[in-house]
Amino acid sequence: MSEPENRLIDQLPRQDRARLLRKAEHVPLLAAQVLHERAEAIRHVYFVNTGFVALLEQIDDQTGLAVALVGSEGMLGVQLALGVLAAPQRALVQSPGMAWRVGRVDFRDVLDHSAALRGGLQLYIARLMMQLASTAGCLHVHQIGPRLARWLLMCHDRADADHFHVTHEALALLLGARRVGITVAAGRLQRQGLIHYHRGDLQVLDRAGLEAAACACYEADRP
């Protein structure tokens, strides 16, 4: 097996890391793949290596609104660490990559034997709660331009590269906005020389400038 790139796994003591990886399989995360639906029983957890997954909150009959991103800083299915078996949101792959997948029973066994994993997940859950809270406030208070800059920074952090793929549809989900609003806001960032965006391929050209254009909510979302 290749060396894990997930930060939660990397921070484990060697014995704990080996125990977890013996029970894990390395699987692809495909663009637009649904890893679980809201209220569905969680059968696997995913320690993301590359790419990132959006957690979507269903609003009436709409497609959903992204409330958080999960990348290599964390784990999808963290509710199992709290004894919650049902997924609170829909999990949709927004940028393809790879992940370590562990079955629910095996994950609980590893968790029971690893104080380091329990501690790491406690800190991650606290940060995830901050991200959820800041997203709620951001959607209510801030304009689409600063919110787009914020989400692009979050994607950039989790992509671990200046180039990544994110479609207009994905950005509309992330921001809870219409595609035309995304087009206008992305065009403004591009004219300012902060990004280059063409047919879903996005390149961050000026990270510092993008941070200056983002709302203050981004500080709560740094992985």
Residues 100 and 203 reside in one and the same domain: no
Residues 159 and 190 reside in one and the same domain: yes
User: Which of 121, 138, 155 marks a domain boundary?
Assistant: 138
pLDDT of 92: 93
Residues 79 and 151 reside in one and the same domain: no
The alpha-helical segments, DSSP class H, found in the chain are 7-10, 14-22, 104-112, 115-141, 144-159, 168-175, 179-191, 207-213
> Would you say 43 and 130 are in contact if contact means Cβ atoms under 8 Å apart?
no
Report the predicted TM-score, pTM, of the whole model to 2 decimal places: 0.90
Confidence of residue 141 (pLDDT cuts 50, 70, 90): confident
Domain of 110, CATH number, reads 2.60.120.10
Residues 51 and 127 reside in one and the same domain: yes
User: Which of 105, 138, 171 marks a domain boundary?
Assistant: 138
Distance in angstroms (rounded) separating the CA atoms of residues 41 and 28:
21
Distance in angstroms (rounded) separating the CA atoms of residues 8 and 184:
37
Tell me the pLDDT tens digit for each residue of 96-134: 899 999 999 999 999 999 999 999 999 999 999 988 888
Instruction: Domain count for the chain, please give it.
Output: 2
Residues 134 and 149 reside in one and the same domain: no
**All residues at 6 or more sequence positions from 9 whose CB lies less than 8 Å from its CB, including other chains:** 17, 20, 21, 47, 100
User: Which of 86, 117, 138 marks a domain boundary?
Assistant: 138
Confidence of residue 180 (pLDDT cuts 50, 70, 90): confident
Residues 122 and 189 reside in one and the same domain: no
Mean pLDDT of the chain: 90
Query: Of the ranges 35-49, 146-160, 163-177, which one carries the lowest mean pLDDT score?
Result: 163-177
Residue 194: both structure tokens together: 């902060």
Residues 62 and 158 reside in one and the same domain: no
- Domain residues for 47? 7-138
Residues 134 and 31 reside in one and the same domain: yes
Confidence of residue 164 (pLDDT cuts 50, 70, 90): confident
Q: Is residue 2 part of a domain?
A: no
Q: Is residue 169 part of a domain?
A: yes
Among 10, 2, 16, CA closest to 73: 10
Distance in angstroms (rounded) separating the CA atoms of residues 74 and 98:
13
pLDDT of 81: 95
Tell me the pLDDT tens digit for each residue of 35-79: 999 999 999 999 999 999 999 987 766 667 888 999 999 999 999
Among 3, 207, 7, CA closest to 127: 7
Residues 74 and 134 reside in one and the same domain: yes
